[in-house]
Amino acid sequence: MRAMILAAGLGTRLRPLTNEVPKPLLPVAGKPMIAYALELVANAGIREVVINLHYLGEQIRSALGTGEAFGVRIFYSVEPHLLDTGGGIAAARRFLGDSPFVVVNSDVYIEGDLRELISFHEQKEALASLWVRPDPQGVRHDNVRVDSAGRVYGLLGHTASPDLANQLPRYFYASAMVCSPGIFEFLPPGIYSLTRDVLPRLVRERKPVFALEHTGYWRVLDTHEDYREGCREITARRGFAPRS
């Protein structure tokens, strides 16, 4: 199994911090942000990773190199034009092969064992399996409705069964998923989002999209407030003492 880490974005919400440094390389508790995504997949036994690059991508390549320091082998998928998540995964197909693969955002810190999500995905024979977190008040825009068996019946307001979906608990996507190679049938070349464009269609068409609740510590790092609070919390959790 291989993994893809999404790292091509512009980091707009973290400007001016990202004016000269790509978001995946911003420091968090003594490491570049993307190191935690690499750590997550390496701890699951995944040894081959593809990272898509666009904005200041050569800085990322220079910092991470072959991946040896992180216990993985890194391939790079360069996007001369930003392809968004769906188009980026489609462009990296030659790296991902014909087996299930993991997709993780580079701007998130996740404590947990990806092998649980991988096992869940295999048991459900899913096309895609998302890690999700509870959102009972529906405050997040990326609303996911999941039944007791883990089947996704609603995503971003799209559903094949509105009456059922509206009765189900609300979750939000936690920035990591497992996909089967069959998903490439729905990933043509182009510029589009996996979560906003492709997955809602799969849910509407009743394709096997599932979700597993993530219960460990989780922190997104894509806004100034989240980055500031995340740095503080993650530093405390990992026992890292900043230099004076």
Among 176, 184, 167, 175, smallest CA distance to 93 is for 184
Show the tokens assigned to 42: 């390496």
3-state SS assignment for residue 129: strand
Cα-Cα-Cα-Cα torsion 133, 134, 140, 146, nearest 10 degrees, comes to 90
CATH H superfamily, domain 2-238: Spore Coat Polysaccharide Biosynthesis Protein SpsA; Chain A (3.90.550.10)
| Chain center to CA of 104 | 3
pLDDT grade, residue 158 (50/70/90)?
Answer: confident
Q: Return the number of other C-beta atoms located less than 10 Å from residue 228's C-beta.
A: 11
pLDDT grade, residue 244 (50/70/90)?
Answer: very low
For 174-209, what is each residue's pLDDT tens digit? Answer: 999 999 999 999 999 999 999 999 999 999 999 999
For 9-44, what is each residue's pLDDT tens digit? Answer: 999 999 999 999 999 999 999 999 999 999 999 999
Alpha-carbon torsion (12, 18, 23, 29), positive or negative: negative
**Lowest-confidence range among 109-123, 151-165, 192-206?**
151-165
> Which residue ranges make up each domain of the chain?
2-238
Beta strands in the chain (DSSP E): 2-6, 27-28, 31-32, 48-53, 73-78, 101-105, 108-110, 128-134, 143-146, 152-155, 158-159, 170-179, 209-213, 218-220
The span from the CA of 130 to the CA of 124, in Å, is 12
Q: What is the mean pLDDT of residues 153-159?
A: 82
